[in-house]
């Protein structure tokens, strides 16, 4: 028996598994119920009483070694397998289903609606300085209008902040001095607001700006009427209400007839039949001058709206937080849209 144990010990210690199958064969040969080691345990019954202590130790040691070798080599195979998954960057990506985020669907829609009437897409930085976010837009220093938009500051003097609106892109485009200008600027904006079903500290806006000779409020109205019908459908009506923005004069807010109840009144439009969707107006001459454009020669209009708001209306989404939570049950509902 002593020789048998020594022989097996030698065999298992020189074992080197070449594959998972090879390792499994090792387990079956030595450790399975009908394997060589349990067979030795069977023989143990016949061992003379005085040798039992020594044989017992040798046998237990053999079994332990075999188990260790098995575990160790098994680990190696698992490690290699995982490694392959992580490291083989040449493998083709598995076909994941998936679709576009509703905000992306709407942003693309908006881009195409405005591109069809000659608007180009412009971009600006999300981290902005005070001049582009406020000063050039006719927000004087210490003016209370700055409080209309709770700002996330990054530094004070120089004043650097996360932009509170996409109107900062207007300034960046006007500064370049290439006229006429006809752009839209979709992008992310930031405000220090309490998060609720109707507000978030991050959201998206789209800005429009048209500067040329003889641009009038009638041009603005017609452009926005076209947009409302393209986006919400041909039955959609619009109305303007006077408003105030430091960077436009005259300023207005635009409502669209509620697309849920068709204007009859429901809880979305608070039984008024109308939903406010954007701010707009004629670019204030002070803004043109601050950006180096002669306000005696040029005039223009601007508008800005929240993308979340109109997406919620279009797809009847009742909680703005859903856009940012990436809950698959929500996102899957948009899979078939492009
Ligand atoms: N920037 C304004 C806002 O964030 C919207 C706006 C843009 C109003 C352009 C008028 C003209 O509320």
| pLDDT band at 75; cut points 50, 70, 90 | confident
Mean pLDDT score, 254-258:
97
Mean pLDDT score, 45-53:
88
Q: How far is the CA of 149 from the centre of ligand 1 (A)?
A: 11
Estimate to the nearest angstrom the gap between the alpha carbon of 144 and the chain centroid.
33
List for the chain the helix, strand, coil content (%; round to 5): 45, 20, 35
What pLDDT is recorded for position 87?
64
pLDDT at 277 over 90: yes
And the tokens for 105? 């669907």
State pLDDT tens for residues 236-246: 999 999 999 99
H helix or E strand, kind and range, residue 41: helix 36-43
What pLDDT is recorded for position 80?
61
Please say whether the beta carbons of 281 and 301 come within 8 A: yes
Closest C-alpha residue for ligand 1 atom 6: 304
Which of residues 234 and 263 earns the better pLDDT score? 234
Q: How far is the CA of 302 from the centre of ligand 1 (A)?
A: 8
DSSP state letter for 28: H
What pLDDT is recorded for position 140?
84
Estimate to the nearest angstrom the gap between the alpha carbon of 22 and the chain centroid.
47
pLDDT at 84 over 60: no
Q: How far apart are CA 232 and CA 220, in angstroms?
A: 18
Q: How far is the CA of 167 from the centre of ligand 1 (A)?
A: 6
Q: Which is the closest atom of ligand 1 to the Cα of 164?
A: 4
Closest C-alpha residue for ligand 1 atom 5: 304
Q: CA distances (Å), 295 to each of 56, 153, 212, 265, in order? A: 102, 32, 10, 43
What pLDDT is recorded for position 83?
55
Mean pLDDT score, 314-321:
94
Residue 67: count other Cβ atoms within 10 Å of its Cβ. 15
What pLDDT is recorded for position 305?
98
Mean pLDDT score, 263-284:
93
DSSP state letter for 236: -
Q: Angle, nearest 10°, between helix axes 102-115 and 217-232?
A: 130
And the tokens for 109? 């829609």
Question: What mean pLDDT, rounded, does the chain reach?
Answer: 92
Which of residues 154 and 87 earns the better pLDDT score? 154
What pLDDT is recorded for position 149?
67
The preferred substitution site among 245, 252, 308 for testing ligand 1, maximizing ligand atoms within 8 Å of CB, is 245
Count Cα atoms within 13 angstroms, Cβ side, for 91: 8
Q: Where are the domains of the chain?
A: 2-86, 102-334
The residue among 306, 278, 300, 297 whose CA lies nearest residue 287 is: 300
The preferred substitution site among 128, 137, 167 for testing ligand 1, maximizing ligand atoms within 8 Å of CB, is 167
Q: How far is the CA of 281 from the centre of ligand 1 (A)?
A: 9
pLDDT at 110 over 60: yes
Please say whether the beta carbons of 304 and 280 come within 8 A: yes
Q: How far is the CA of 334 from the centre of ligand 1 (A)?
A: 29
DSSP state letter for 92: P
Closest C-alpha residue for ligand 1 atom 8: 279
What pLDDT is recorded for position 10?
92
H helix or E strand, kind and range, residue 168: helix 167-176
And the tokens for 180? 């006429």
Ligand 1 environment, Cβ below 6 A? 165, 167, 207, 245, 248, 279-281, 302-304
Architecture, CATH, for domain 102-334: 2-Layer Sandwich (3.30)
| pLDDT band at 338; cut points 50, 70, 90 | low
- The alpha carbons of the chain give a radius of gyration, in whole angstroms, of 36
What pLDDT is recorded for position 156?
85
What pLDDT is recorded for position 181?
98
Mean pLDDT score, 118-122:
98
Q: 89 CB contacts (<8 Å, ≥6 apart)?
A: none
What pLDDT is recorded for position 99?
86
What pLDDT is recorded for position 95?
64
State pLDDT tens for residues 123-176: 999 999 999 999 999 998 887 767 666 899 899 888 899 999 999 999 999 999
What pLDDT is recorded for position 37?
93
Share of the chain above pLDDT 90, in %: 70
| pLDDT band at 73; cut points 50, 70, 90 | confident
And the tokens for 72? 């160790």
| pLDDT band at 82; cut points 50, 70, 90 | low
Q: How far is the CA of 204 from the centre of ligand 1 (A)?
A: 12
What pLDDT is recorded for position 32?
93
What pLDDT is recorded for position 268?
82
């Amino acid at each position: 028996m002593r020789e048998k144990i020594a022989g097996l010990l030698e065999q298992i210690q020189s074992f080197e598994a070449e594959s998972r199958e090879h390792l499994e064969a090792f387990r079956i040969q030595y450790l399975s119920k009908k394997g060589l080691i349990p067979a030795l345990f069977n023989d143990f019954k016949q061992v003379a009483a005085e040798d039992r202590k020594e044989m017992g130790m040798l046998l237990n040691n053999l079994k332990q070694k075999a188990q260790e070798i098995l575990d160790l080599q098994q680990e190696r195979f698992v490690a290699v397998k995982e490694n392959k998954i992580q490291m083989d960057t040449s493998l083709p990506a598995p076909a994941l289903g998936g679709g576009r985020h509703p905000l992306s669907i709407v942003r693309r829609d908006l881009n195409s609606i405005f591109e069809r009437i000659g608007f180009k897409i412009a971009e600006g930085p999300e981290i902005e300085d005070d001049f582009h976010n406020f000063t050039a837009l006719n927000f004087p220093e210490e003016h209370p209008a700055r409080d209309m938009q709770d700002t996330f500051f990054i530094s004070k003097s120089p004043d650097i902040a996360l932009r509170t609106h996409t109107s900062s892109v207007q300034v960046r485009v006007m500064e370049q001095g290439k006229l006429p200008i006809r752009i839209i600027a979709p992008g992310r904006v930031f405000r220090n607001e309490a998060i609720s079903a109707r507000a978030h500290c991050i959201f998206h806006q789209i800005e429009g700006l048209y500067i040329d000779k003889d641009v009038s409020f009638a041009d603005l109205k017609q452009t926005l009427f076209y947009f409302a019908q393209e986006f919400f459908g041909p039955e959609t009506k619009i109305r303007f209400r006077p408003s105030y923005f430091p960077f436009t004069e005259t300023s207005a807010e635009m409502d669209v007839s509620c697309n849920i109840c068709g204007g009859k009144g429901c809880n979305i439009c608070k039984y008024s039949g109308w939903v406010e969707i954007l701010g707009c107006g004629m670019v204030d001459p002070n803004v043109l001058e601050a950006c180096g454009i002669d306000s005696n020669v040029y005039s223009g209009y601007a508008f800005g709206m929240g993308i979340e708001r109109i997406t919620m209306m279009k797809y009847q989404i009742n909680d703005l937080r859903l856009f940012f939570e990436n809950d698959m049950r929500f996102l899957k509902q948009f899979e078939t849209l492009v």
